[in-house]
Amino acid sequence: MSQTALRPTRRRISGSRLTLYAVFVLMVVVFAVFADFGKIQRNFFQLDVARRMLPSVLTIAAKNTIIATLLSFSLGLVLALALAIMKRSTIRPYRWIATGYIELFRGLPALVTIILIAFGLPIAFGWKIPGGTLGKGCIGLGIVAAAYMAETIRAGIEAVPRGQMEAARSLGMSKGTAMTFIVLPQAFRIIIPPLTNELVLLIKDTSLFFVIGTTPASKELTKFGRDFMNANANATPLTVIALVYLVITLPLTYMVRRLERAAGKGTR
């Protein structure tokens, strides 16, 4: 591009940038003038309240959140894999089931599904779900997660070139063997970033478990924080659990960004 063509564009950009900076400065000033820092400090940053949350905020609440996330994710992943393969099946009823499942649980609020599973399943089938409230919640959340991950996995499978399946079959591998050893390993490499995103969403969704009731030992972070807040008539516990959530989620989102960059560079 020539110098003369470049110049007006540049000037216009720096003009709009100036406006953006002005808005930013204005926001900071408004916040500084109108916020009541004493009140904020008293309500959200009481060190002695925060100190009383230790160690159970980590040994019970954070632990439960992490366990619930991992259990829901594992269950969701297994279900999602089955759904993704059913959705690609040549047998039509399997495709119907998979599509119905995915549309149903993506269409419902996670909260509703969790309640349905926790209270509905025992009534409908007389099953006793193991693991107490944590177990019930994980099954509900896993079922929801599967609906989202199934589409991701299916997209991953379809992103692997057809020639890979053909080459595997031409060597005499059965469809299942080719899928297991040739297609799926490549598909999962492609979908690790979106799956990690799903994991981050699940961490946050475990906060929905409060609807099915909890015992002191099965509280996850959000429920734990809310109860502590009510008991102390102070919002500091919210600040603490927010920090704990960030300590868990930020490394994961950072990892996703790195993985995505690595995938973008691509060896393919």
Partner 1 sequence: MNEAPPIEICDLHKSFGDLEVLRGIDFEIAAGEVVCIIGPSGSGKSTLLRCVNRLEEPTAGTVLVEGEDMTDPYADVDALRSKIGMVFQQFNLFPHLDVLKNLTIAQRKVLKRSEAEAVDVATRMLERVGLSDKIAEYPLRLSGGQQQRVAIARALCMNPDMMLFDEPTSALDPELIGEVLDVMRLLASEGMTMMVVTHEMGFAQHVADRIVFMDEGVIVEQGRPEKVLFDPQHERTRRFLRAVQHD
Which residues are at the interface with partner 1 (CB under 8 A)?
A: 161, 163-164, 166-174, 177, 181-182, 185-186, 189, 267-268
Among 231, 244, 208, 218, residue whose Cα is nearest residue 54: 244
Shortest approach of partner 1 to residue 168 CB, angstroms?
8
Residue given tokens 């896993």 in the structure block: 142
Shortest approach of partner 1 to residue 250 CB, angstroms?
30
Q: Which residue, 178 or 212, has its beta carbon nearer to partner 1?
A: 178
In this structure, what token pair is assigned to residue 76? 């969701």
Q: Which residue, 24 or 181, has its beta carbon nearer to partner 1?
A: 181
Q: Which residue, 90 or 215, has its beta carbon nearer to partner 1?
A: 90
Q: Which residue, 52 or 189, has its beta carbon nearer to partner 1?
A: 189
Q: Which residue, 165 or 211, has its beta carbon nearer to partner 1?
A: 165
Shortest approach of partner 1 to residue 79 CB, angstroms?
25
- 223: CB partners within 8 A, 6+ apart: 61, 207, 209, 210, 214
Shortest approach of partner 1 to residue 142 CB, angstroms?
28
Treating both helix axes as pointing N-terminal to C-terminal, what angle do 184-205 and 132-159 enclose, rounded to 10 degrees? 140
Shortest approach of partner 1 to residue 169 CB, angstroms?
7
- Check: CB of residue 112 under 8 Å from CB of residue 140: no
Residue 152 is classified by DSSP as: H
Total residue count of the chain as it appears in this document: 268
Shortest approach of partner 1 to residue 185 CB, angstroms?
5
- 97: CB partners within 8 A, 6+ apart: 86
- Check: CB of residue 220 under 8 Å from CB of residue 209: yes
**Amino acid in the structure at residue 219:** K
